[in-house]
Amino acid sequence: MATVLAIEGTRPRPRRGAGRFTAFLRAFIRDRQALAGLVIVAIVGGAAAAAPLISPWDPLTSVEVDRLSPPGTPGHLLGTDEQARDILSRLIWGGRISLLVGIVPTVAAGLVALLLGLVAGYREGLLDHLIMRVLDVFFAFPLVLLAIAIVGVIGPGVGNQMFALAVVLVPYSTRVVRTATLSVKNLEFIEAVRALGAGSGRVLWRHLVPNVLPPLLVYTSTLVGLMIVASSGLSFLGLGVQPPTPDWGVMVGSGRLVIYRAAHVATIPGVIIVVVALGFNFIGDGLREALDPRARQ
Amino acid sequence: MTSYVAQRLFGLVPVLFGISVVIFLGMKLIPGDVARALLGPMGTAESLAQLRGALGLDQPLHVQYVKWLWRALHGDLGLSPIVHQPVVELLLPKFGNTLILAGASFVLAASAGIAAGVLAAARERTAIDRVTMGASLVVGNMPPFWLGLVLIVVFAIDLRWLPSLGMYSTRGAGGVADLLTHLVLPAVTTTAAPGAIIARMTRASVLEILGHEYIMVARAKGLAERVVISAHALRVAWPPIVTIAGLQLGYLLGGAVFTEEVFGWPGLGRQLVSSVIARDVQVVQGAALFIALSFVVVNLVVDLLNLYLDPRARPA
C-alpha cells in the first residue's frame, strides 16, 4: 500500500486512497484563501482559453478609435494602446501565452527534478555527489540572471525563454525531491517492501514516487507564480515573447514607451500579473496545508 | 573556528571551478564563432583562419579553457568586439553602480522587513498582523519592472517629487545629494520583493521563539513585552533571519536588473541585458563571472556571520 508523505520530515501515515483524497479535497476547499486562488486562476485561465469567443476585438489589429484612449472609452473598457489596439482583448489573448510560459517551465523542471532527485537520493554515493555538486554550481547564479544569460547564449524567443527558465529551476526542485527521498527511503515500510522481494524499480516507482510527489507538487505550485513574474520580466526586457504577440510582459514593456502620455497602457497588464501570481501562491499555500495532516487536524 | 573557516574556504574551490567551466562552456555553445563576429561578413577564409589562430580558437578545448582561466585569474576577461573596450574596464564601474543600488536596497529591505516581521509577530492575530502580512504578500508578488513604472507615474510624473532616470542630473553639479534623490525610487523598487520575504521569515522565526518556555519565564518576571522581544526573542531568532536576508542580498546584486532597466541605472544587470541583445558574448561571460563570484562571497559572509551570531552552530 502506498503511503503519502505530507511534508518533509514527517512520518507518513497509511490511509486508504479514496479517503485520503477526499480529506485532502475537503481541507483544500475549506481554506478560503486557497479557494480564492483557485477562482482567480480559473477565471483568468478560462478567459484565456475562451479568448476567440469572448475577446471583444482582435488583439493584433488597430480599432477605429484614438490611440491611447483612456479606460472607460465606449466599447473599450480598458482603453487602447499605442497602436490603438484594444487593451482588454490583448489581456485576454495574452493570458494564453503568459500562463503557458509560466507553467510549462515549472512542470518540465519538476519532471526532470523528480528523476534527478530520486536517483541522487536513492543511490547516494558517487552519483549523488556528482549530481549535487553540478547543481551547486547553478546555485551560484541568481535565478533570473542565469535565465537571462542562457537566453543570451541560445538567443531570444518563446521556446528558448521556456527552456532557460526550466533549466534554472531544476536545481531547486531537485533539492526538494532529494531531501524527501532521503527521509522516506530509510523508513521501515521501505525495508518491509524490500524484505518482500521488491526490486529497486518497484520500490522507486510504487513507494518512493507517491511519497516525494506531494512536497514536489507543493513546491512547484508556489513556483508557478514566481515564474509568471519572471517570464513576463524576460518578455519585458525583449528576451522572451516578441511583439506584437500579446503577452502581459510585452504589454508592460511597450506601454513603458508611452508612460508619460498614457500610464494605463503599462500599468493595467501589471495588475493582472500581480493578481495571477497571488492566485497561484494562494493555491500553493492551500496545497501545503491540505497535504499536511498536522495542519488538517 | 579557524579550521571551520579554512574548511569552508576550501569547499569553495570545486564550486568556483564549476562556475568557471560552466561559463567557459556556455560561451562555446554559442552558434557562430568569435572570429567571424569580429571580422564581419567581409572576412575572407584566410583572414578568418589567421584570426582563429591568433585567438587560439584552433587549439583543443581544454587548452583554450586553461588559457582563458589563466588570463581571467590575472584580471583579463578579453575585449568586447562591440564596444571595443576591455571587459573588466567596462564592467568594474557598472559593478560599483550596482553595489550602490543593491546596498541601499538591502539596508531598506532588511530594516523594513525585520521591523514589519517583528511587529506582526508581537501583534499576532490582530489587524496589524493581518495588514502587514497581507501587504507583504501583495508587494512580494509585484513584478519589479511594473512596480518601478508605477512609482515613476506617481512620484516622477504626477507629483514631480523625484527624478525617474539615471544616477545624476545631466545639468546638475552631481554630488551625493543628487545621487540620493536619484536612488530613492530604484532602491524602493528593488526593496519590495526581498523586503516582503524578510518580513515573513522574521515573523515566523520570532513567533517560533515566542512559544518557548524561557519567554514565558521572562514575561512572568514582569519584563515589558518590548524587552522580551528585543532582548530575549530576537537574540535567538537572528540566525534564520540573517540567512534569509543574506540570500536576498545575493539576489539584489543580480536581481536589480529590472530596476536598472526601468530607471536607466547604469549597472551590471542593465549591461548584461544590452550585451545579451547585442550578442556581445565576451561581456555576457564577464558579467556572469562577476555576478557568480559576488554571490559566492555573499553566501560565505552569511555563513560566517551566522557562526558569530549563533554559538551553537560553531563546530566543537
Q: Where are the domains of chain A?
A: 67-296
- A-B C-beta contacts closer than 8 Å: 135
The CATH class that applies to domain A67-296 reads mainly alpha
Three-state DSSP at A74 gives: coil
* CA distance to partner chain A, nearest, from residue B2 (Å): 24
* CA distance to partner chain A, nearest, from residue B162 (Å): 15
**Count of Cβ atoms closer than 10 Å to residue B152 Cβ:** 24
Which contiguous run of DSSP H or E holds residue B80? Answer: strand B79-80
**Count of Cβ atoms closer than 10 Å to residue A200 Cβ:** 11
The DSSP symbol for A158 reads: H
Q: Within chain A, where are the H helices?
A: 17-30, 32-49, 51-54, 87-123, 125-139, 143-154, 158-185, 188-195, 200-202, 209-236, 248-256, 264-291, 293-296
- Distance between CA atoms of residues B127 and B75, nearest Å: 55
**CB contact set of A61 (below 8 Å; sequence gap of 6+):** A85
Q: pLDDT by residue (tens digit) across B229-246?
A: 888 888 888 888 888 888
Half-sphere exposure (Cβ direction) of A230: Cα atoms closer than 13 Å: 26
Residues of B in contact with A237 (CB under 8 A): 145, 257-258, 261, 273
Question: Are A143 and A204 a contacting pair, CB within 8 Å?
Answer: no
Please, what's the b/e burial string for B104-125 (b: 16 or more CB within 10 A of its CB; e: otherwise)? bbbebbbebbbebbbbbbbeee
Q: Among A139, A175, A237, which would you mutate to test the B interface (most chain B Cβ atoms within 10 Å of its Cβ)? A: A237
* Torsion angles phi and psi, residue B85, rounded to 5: -150, 145
* Predicted structure pTM score: 0.86
Task: Verify whether the Cβ–Cβ distance B146 to A252 is below 8 Å.
Answer: yes
Q: pLDDT by residue (tens digit) across B149-181?
A: 999 999 999 898 988 888 887 776 668 888 888
Question: Tens of pLDDT along chain B (316 residues)?
Answer: 788 888 888 888 888 888 888 888 877 776 666 677 667 777 788 888 887 777 777 788 888 889 888 988 888 888 887 888 899 999 999 999 999 999 999 999 999 999 999 999 988 889 999 999 999 989 988 999 999 999 999 999 989 898 888 888 777 666 888 888 899 999 999 999 899 999 998 998 898 888 888 988 988 898 888 888 888 888 888 888 888 888 888 778 766 889 999 999 999 989 988 888 887 888 888 888 888 888 888 888 888 888 887 777 776 5
- Using CB atoms within 10 A of its CB, is residue B92 exposed (0-12), middle (13-18) or buried (19+)? middle
Question: Are A70 and A264 a contacting pair, CB within 8 Å?
Answer: yes
Residues of A in contact with B254 (CB under 8 A): 141-142, 144-145
Using a CB–CB cut-off of 8 Å, the residues of A that contact B are: 133-134, 136-138, 140-145, 148-156, 225, 229, 232-233, 236-239, 249, 252-253, 255-256, 259-260, 263, 266-267, 269-270, 273-274, 277-278, 281
Of A153, A267, A269, the CB nearest to B153: A267
Residues of A in contact with B261 (CB under 8 A): 236-237
Residues of A in contact with B253 (CB under 8 A): 142
- Strand-pairing partners, residue A4, are A13
Task: Verify whether the Cβ–Cβ distance B15 to A270 is below 8 Å.
Answer: no
Is residue A206's pLDDT more than 90?
Answer: no
What ipTM was estimated for this complex?
A: 0.84
List the end-to-end C-alpha distance of chain A, in Å, as a whole number: 23
